[in-house]
Amino acid sequence: MRLLLVIAALSAWNRRLTLGLTVIAIALAVSLLLSLERIREAVHDGFAQSVSGADLIVGARGSALQLVLYTVFHVGDASNEVAWASYQAIAADPAVAWSIPMALGDSHRGFPVLGTTAEYFERYRYGDRQPIRLVAGRPFRGLFEAVIGAEVAARLAYRLGDPITLSHGSGAQPGFEHADKPFSVVGILAPTGTPVDRRIHVSLAAIEAIHLDWMAGAPIPGLSIAADSVGKFDLQPTSITAFLVGLHQRGAVFQLQRKIAEYRDEPLLAVLPGVVLDQLWQTVGLAEKLLNGLSWLVFAVGLAGLAAVMLASLSERRRELAVLRAVGSGPHHLMLLLMLESLIVTLLGMFLGVLVVTAAAHLGGAWLAAHVGLSSFSLWLSPGELERLAVIGAATQLTALWPAWRAYRLSLADGLIPRL
């Protein structure tokens, strides 16, 4: 066995150019397979952790999926509002460590506007409980100040101090702008790869201020309250869209969830964001399946290339194989020799592919985390990736069976008789 391994290594070295190209092809297939798998897992983790650290999302009673889609991804509409008094009562519960109110419904040039408090910038988490941070400026303090997400700043080319005007609703209809009360950009958030990048953050009081002369979703005819006069009014909100809740002890989450469901003053719904987001991922899991299928298709192409190279080399090696038969090697030795060569090529390709993926994760992980939000890359192989590598090794050996079987059937006379 050791002699065959030496012969296989020497034979592979003599054909190093051809087999080197095969090694590169396998390395590319393995690196692409592992890269797609890591990206798929990172996208899943980022999707499931678009909001993390919050134990509950509380809103008006309705669909749990609709509540999460609207508050986290700004898709759809809220079923109803939550009274400010109800928010205060639940936020004051002894089990609650912190809460973040959220008022949605306005927009700016297609980007959603979120009314909240300054605690949002301290408590909000995404990904692996990463805090949001500012790359420029500061959180809002004044009434008409806004903090914008990274995508808003990039696509609209906004800088600190630029004025922006909010619109009521989606802003699709003309005449629904709050043009009389412009905001100033005071902060720009770092990229997160989550819906935070698309948000414009203002205070709850600002949301109330721009709607003082509005009623039932439209301006009140003949009434206009100037921006410098809104301070005379009570700007405490009467209702909000939803709010996030963090607990002192996560073990109390189901108890508080039941208490909110039984809240008597108004019908409310409390959902665990991670559970609902996992269910949502399963619903839209077609993309995951497509990525998985594409990665294996790429590897199948690499296997086909390996088989083609080995089959093509048999014609050139007929004399070599015949000499081995002449010195006493049996057909099964030839078959084992080609299997060992295939194993050497496969292991080299797999090692090179893993090396490429690891280097890419080390060099590009920080950039991806900063610009795309894919921050769950690891420098070590996961158990799932080790299983995939085992499948790859087994698949390559099975692929090599056909060329090995062809070599097994080569006769001594066929190899020694020169072809005219």
pLDDT tens string for the chain (420 positions)? 565 566 556 666 666 666 677 778 778 878 877 887 777 777 766 676 678 889 999 999 999 989 998 999 888 887 789 999 999 999 999 999 999 999 999 999 989 999 999 999 999 998 778 899 999 999 999 999 999 999 999 999 999 999 999 998 876 566 678 888 999 999 999 988 788 999 999 999 999 999 998 877 778 888 888 888 888 899 999 999 999 999 999 899 999 999 999 999 999 999 998 888 877 777 666 766 776 777 777 777 777 776 777 666 666 666 666 666 666 665 666 667 777 777 777 888 888 888 888 888 777 666 665 555 555 556 677 777 788 788 888 887 787 777 767 666 654 445 555 554
Question: Reduced to 3 states, what is the DSSP secondary structure of residue 329?
Answer: coil
What is the spatial order of strands in the sheet that 56-60 belongs to?
96-102, 242-247, 56-60, 268-271
Written as one string, the DSSP assignment of 66-116 is HHHHHHHH--S--S--EEHHHHHHHHTSTTEEEEEEEB--EEETTEEEEEE
Question: Reduced to 3 states, what is the DSSP secondary structure of residue 418?
Answer: coil
Report yes or no on whether pTM surpasses 0.75. no
Q: How many CA atoms lie within 13 A of 59 on its CB side?
A: 25
Instruction: Name the residue among 394, 295, 391, 299 with its Cα closest to residue 342.
Output: 394
Burial group, residue 330, by CB count within 10 angstroms (0-12, 13-18, 19+) = exposed
Local structure of residue 267 (DSSP, 8 states): -
List Cβ neighbours of 372 (8 Å cut-off, separation of 6 or more): 191, 193
**Pairing mode of beta strands 167-168, 214-215:** unpaired
Which residue is it, tokens 């996992």?
278
Written as one string, the DSSP assignment of 287-306 is HHHHHHHHHHHHHHHHHHHH
Neighbours of 383 (CB within 10 A): 7
* pLDDT at position 420: 47
List Cβ neighbours of 141 (8 Å cut-off, separation of 6 or more): 118, 186
Residue 392 has which token pair? 């790859």
Neighbours of 293 (CB within 10 A): 10
